Structure 1
Amino acid sequence: MNVKGTATRLPTSRKAATLLLACTFVCPLESALAQTATPAGPTLRQATSSDNATASPMPSAVDAAATGAVQLTPTPSPPPQLWRPSNNPGDPIYEQQDEAGQPFADAENPYEPTVDGGENPRIPAVPGQTPGIRVGTFVLRPAISQTINTERQTNTGGPSRRNYLTTGIRGTLTSDWSRHALTVTGDGAWERNFGSDKDGEEPRAKIDADLRLDLGGQTTANLKAGYEFSREDTTDPNALTGAAVQGGEHRFTTGASIERDFGKLRGLAALDLSRTVYTDAKGIDGRPISLNDRDQNGANLRGRIGYELSPALIPFLELNVGTTKYDRRLDNSGYARSSNSYGAKVGAEVDLGEKTRGEAAIGYLRKQYDDDRLDAIDALTLDGTLNWSPQRGTNVNLGLRTTIEDFAGGPQGGWVSYRLDAGLTHELRNNLVARLTGQVVHRKFRASEDAVEYTAGAGLTWGINRYLDLTADVSYQWTPVYDSNDLRVGAGLVLKR
């Protein structure tokens, strides 16, 4: 029995000695590698139970020491972050100011890590956003809505009322590329009155595409194109008085821009082109009224240079020059309305992280017409945007823009328009979102009284589930100088994927 006991313990002792000897080789080797390896370079892969489970061929450190070679594998790079649209299909898509609709990769005001180092529950970057449909290297998120609405208008022609259905189609198509990004957004609506009367129907459609090209570490280029159709509003200064149906406006746009950082300096150059075509209006007697004397082409070239005082504050100077050329040299009233414009403004960009971002600028804009009988128009410009998230689930958006618009006829060249947009969204619950919107448009005319137009709206969106929303909206528009007001109330369902 004693011999048997000695024989069984001997192999165990030899195994322990062999294992101890192996450790003496492994420990110095790992220490040397840890001292010489750089963070950005390749690192020695650590063997884990999951690696053994997949049975991937991997030479051990003892074998490497015996052969004098160490197999290094590059550290796997993190998966590219998906670009997401700034609007979620199924939610209202508000008109954006210039480049405010660009996609962004980081969530606004995200959750902070916990104190004990644990993980917060996974919360989607956009609350209620659907997973979408995979189309190759793109993700498509379509939505279709059906609402029932009522509208009551009052103006100089007396009160009018209509009940109608609105069918809307929206969608976003975003790329899933490791480099560059393509975003396509679309929004369209078709109105149909109850009964045979078609007065007041306002169909609209809009589609935009933006391609971002990452040309280098400090250079980014953008190519964009778009199309928009809308019917002219009855409160617009160029609307035809007494027309049964106002004319429609087809607008085609394209542009290119390039931005580059030169250390503390940031430079931007952009070129925007546009083409506008008007459809016939319809008179009270049903006869068409041609508006083709308003068809035009436009071009605008702008450059911006900024200096980074800090990552949160970048003052800038921007210069722009533009031209508008009408298809017909003279309009129906006998005036040549083609023009050239020049402008400059100074301002600052502010970026305080996820909570506050925006810019503000003040400048000067002048428009000179080809016809000497039309006085040139100049204006002090105020422009800016602000995106503020005071707390998670609450977002405030402000936009201010100054433009010079052309009259469609008569001895006046145009007017100056100041437009202020405001929006507030708040998550009352994780599936209930409240919205408040407001807009003020101040039109300054040379030979007549100024006109101020006020618009206010409110709405609720209840996410019944991930793919179905219930919406309710109310809006009111008031133009005192024209003694005009418009009240709209609607509710419906949004099906999204």
Structure 2
Amino acid sequence: MAPELSAKLKTHPIVGVALGAGVTFGLLCQTVQGEEIFGGWDLQSAVSLRGGFEDQDGNRSHMLVVAPEFTLRRENDDLALGISGGAQFEQTGNNQFTPRAAGLGVDATLQLSRRGQANFAANYSIEQPRNTDPELPTDVKTPGFTQQFGILAGYSHQFAKTQVDLRSAIGRGQTADTTLNDDSIQSNADQNAWRYGLGARVTREITPTIGAFVDAQINRELYDTPSSALNASRNNWSYEAQVGAAVNFNEKVQGEVAFGQLRQTFDDAGLDAVQTFTYNAGLAWQVSDMAALQLNVSTNVSPTSVAGEAMRVVDVGRLTYNQEINTQISFSAFGEIERQHYQNSNDEIKTSRAGLGLQYLVNEQISTFANYSFSLREPTGAAASRRHMIEAGVRFNRQ
């Protein structure tokens, strides 16, 4: 690595997570078998190398990506533990290689009794979007990196044909300052917030293949500073209730569908409450031994920088198809529709995405792939944006 590039990487905030983990990962993979160090643990690691070209409204650029990742798991009769992590280094256009994202997570499941189970998870991630990200203003030179941290804990208990699940969460999200094209600094402190949540689900078995459930969730968000766009605090309470059904037909069709209402009220009386119909679905259909179809639909509410709006409602639907041609060759395809809309205006952003992928398994350690994707973003009152991307790469696996 060139000395000047090494010096730049060492000062990048993402490197604190990514570089040390990446070096450790590389040394482990090159010098010893995983089981020699992690006795009793199942170590899986991989590195993906890919490159491609992107066309964003006629502006063309190339990209190179290096993405290491690992998973450690250990299970016995009563306890299951897991650790996973990964990073992404990217080079685009005339830019040098940049750490783009990194993350680390741990999880544990403890069987307390024949009917009771406790679970715990913690995760941390850091990411810096490109300055060409369509969600960012056009005058951004260097976007601020975003950090997310979360801790989740839950307990499940089976009462005959009724299961009760309790959950809790605490999280922190924050975004660093943004540098604009004129080299001025824009603070993102009004996007930084603590989040707390409590939830419960009660599921009743109707038949061996169908269960009905009710689900309730309450969340509290506390922002560091008032919103600069609203000149008001976005501190809020949100309440969501859903009813739904879960199905499992001999593992051929499995998943769940739920519908409900979400209401978000703000501490500041000057902000109108957000109320919306919500739906969530995750269904998987094993069409044959060689083909699978998956449907995912969701609704969520998140902050927005649109003037006069405290929050945005995002509806997403995605359909994915995977097909194995033989033991070595497979392909996949997806289609996705996303709609962002608001409480107090008719403005919306519609985004359509589609893609195709081809995978070839060389052996147990090496696979190659090629992908094409297209997206169309249509904001109200603004020109549509089109993006084409084609990429190819190789993935090295170690178990």
TM-score norm. by structure 1 comes to 0.68
Which residue does 2:370 correspond to in 1? 472
Distance 1:437 1:229 in 2: 27
| 1:377 is the counterpart of 2:274 | yes
Name the CA shift for 1:409/1:338 in 2 (closer, same or farther; >3 Å): farther
Which residue does 1:447 correspond to in 2? 345
Give CA deviations for 1:88-120 in whole Å, capped at 9, x if unaligned: xxxxxxxxxxxxxxxxxxxxxxxxxxxxxxxxx
Name the CA shift for 1:183/1:331 in 2 (closer, same or farther; >3 Å): same
Distance 2:105 2:293 in 1: 24
Give CA deviations for 1:121-169 in whole Å, capped at 9, x if unaligned: xxxxxxxxxxx83221111110111111111112xxxx42211210011
Name the CA shift for 1:389/1:133 in 2 (closer, same or farther; >3 Å): farther
| 1:483 is the counterpart of 2:384 | yes
Conservation of the 8 A alpha-carbon contact between 1:375 and 1:412 = no
Name the CA shift for 1:368/1:361 in 2 (closer, same or farther; >3 Å): same
Conservation of the 8 A alpha-carbon contact between 1:320 and 1:343 = yes
TM-score norm. by structure 2 comes to 0.85
Written as runs of structure 1 = structure 2, the 5 A alignment for 1:118-197 is 133-134=34-35, 135-154=38-57, 159-196=58-95
Please tell me the residue identity of whatever aligns with 2:234: R
Q: Which has the higher strand share?
A: 2
1:459 to 335, 346, 357: 357
**Structure 1 segments of 4+ aligned residues over 6 angstroms from their partners:** none
Which residue does 2:290 correspond to in 1? 393
Written as runs of structure 1 = structure 2, the 5 A alignment for 1:44-123 is none
Conservation of the 8 A alpha-carbon contact between 1:278 and 1:294 = yes
Distance 2:179 2:305 in 1: 17
Conservation of the 8 A alpha-carbon contact between 1:441 and 1:452 = yes
Query: Per the alignment, in what secondary structure is the counterpart of residue 293 of structure 1?
Result: helix
Please tell me the residue identity of whatever aligns with 1:473: N
Query: Per the alignment, in what secondary structure is the counterpart of residue 216 of structure 1?
Result: coil
Distance 1:293 1:480 in 2: 27
* CA root-mean-square deviation: 2.0
Give the C-alpha shift of residue 382 in structure 1: 0.8
Which residue does 2:30 correspond to in 1? none
Query: Per the alignment, in what secondary structure is the counterpart of residue 223 of structure 1?
Result: strand
Give the C-alpha shift of residue 437 in structure 1: 2.3
Conservation of the 8 A alpha-carbon contact between 1:133 and 1:140 = yes
Give CA deviations for 1:459-485 in whole Å, capped at 9, x if unaligned: 111111111111111111111225112
Written as runs of structure 1 = structure 2, the 5 A alignment for 1:291-310 is 291-310=188-207
Distance 2:204 2:318 in 1: 28
Distance 1:202 1:365 in 2: 37
Distance 2:42 2:298 in 1: 33
Give the C-alpha shift of residue 407 in structure 1: 2.0
| 1:345 is the counterpart of 2:222 | no
Conservation of the 8 A alpha-carbon contact between 1:164 and 1:191 = yes
Identity of aligned residues (%): 22
Conservation of the 8 A alpha-carbon contact between 1:224 and 1:256 = yes
Conservation of the 8 A alpha-carbon contact between 1:144 and 1:494 = yes
Give the C-alpha shift of residue 244 in structure 1: 2.5
For structure 1, the residue ranges without an aligned partner over 5 or more in a row are 1-131
Name the CA shift for 1:196/1:246 in 2 (closer, same or farther; >3 Å): closer
Distance 1:176 1:261 in 2: 22
Please tell me the residue identity of whatever aligns with 2:216: L
Name the CA shift for 1:337/1:202 in 2 (closer, same or farther; >3 Å): farther
Distance 1:355 1:221 in 2: 28
Aligned positions, number: 358
Give CA deviations for 1:38-79 in whole Å, capped at 9, x if unaligned: xxxxxxxxxxxxxxxxxxxxxxxxxxxxxxxxxxxxxxxxxx
Which residue does 2:26 correspond to in 1? none
Name the CA shift for 1:431/1:142 in 2 (closer, same or farther; >3 Å): same
Give the C-alpha shift of residue 397 in structure 1: 1.9
Give the C-alpha shift of residue 188 in structure 1: 2.4
Which residue does 1:57 correspond to in 2? none
Please tell me the residue identity of whatever aligns with 2:253: T
Which residue does 1:216 correspond to in 2? 113
Conservation of the 8 A alpha-carbon contact between 1:137 and 1:177 = no
Distance 1:340 1:232 in 2: 29
Give the C-alpha shift of residue 332 in structure 1: 6.2
| 1:207 is the counterpart of 2:104 | yes
Conservation of the 8 A alpha-carbon contact between 1:294 and 1:408 = no
Give the C-alpha shift of residue 348 in structure 1: 0.9
Give the C-alpha shift of residue 285 in structure 1: 2.4
Conservation of the 8 A alpha-carbon contact between 1:293 and 1:332 = no
Which residue does 2:14 correspond to in 1? none
Distance 2:307 2:229 in 1: 9
Give the C-alpha shift of residue 411 in structure 1: 2.5
For structure 2, the residue ranges without an aligned partner over 5 or more in a row are 1-32
Give the C-alpha shift of residue 329 in structure 1: 4.5
Which residue does 1:67 correspond to in 2? none
